[in-house]
Copies of this chain bind each other. A is one copy, B any other.
Amino acid sequence: MRLDNVTVVLHEPRYPENIGAAARACRNMGARGLVAVRPRNPDREKMLKMATHEAADLVEAMPILDSLDEALAPFQHVVGTTARTGRHRRPTDTPRGLARGLAPVLARNRVALLFGSEKWGLSNAALARCQSLVTIPTAGFSSVNLAQSVMILLYELRLADGDAAPPLPRLADQRELEGLFAHLAELFEAVGFIHPESPEHWMANVRRFVGRLQLQAREVRLARGFCRQVLWALGRSGEGRREAAGGR
Q: Which residues of A contact B (CB under 8 A)?
A: 3, 17, 21, 24-25, 27-30, 50, 52, 54-55, 96, 136-145, 147-148, 151-152, 155, 158-159
Distance, CA A27 to CA B136, complexed state (A) = 14
User: How many copies of this chain does one complex carry?
Assistant: 2
| Chain B residue at minimal CB-CB distance from A29 | B139
Contact check, A141 vs B21: say whether CB atoms are below 8 A apart: no
Contact of A158 with B137 at beta-carbon distance under 8 Å, contacts A151-B151, A152-B151 already known = yes
Pick the most buried of A55, A140, A148: most chain B CB atoms within 10 A of its CB. A148
How far is the CB of A195 from the nearest CB of chain B, in Å?
42
Asked whether, in the complex, the Cβ of A28 is within 8 Å of the Cβ of B138, the reply is yes
Which of chain B's residues have a CB closer than 8 A to the CB of A139?
A: 3, 27-30, 158
A140: which B residues are within 8 A, CB to CB?
Answer: 27, 30
User: What's the least CB distance linking A3 to chain B, in Å?
Assistant: 7
Contact B155 A21 (CB under 8 A): no
Closest to A154 in B: B139
Within 8 Å CB of A54, what residues of B? 141, 143
Question: Measured between C-beta atoms, what is the minimum distance from A138 to chain B in Å?
Answer: 5
Minimum distance in angstroms from A164 CB to a CB of chain B: 16
- For residue A25, which residue of chain B has the nearest CB? B148
Cα distance A140–B139 when bound, in Å? 31
Residues of B within 8 A of A52 (CB): 143
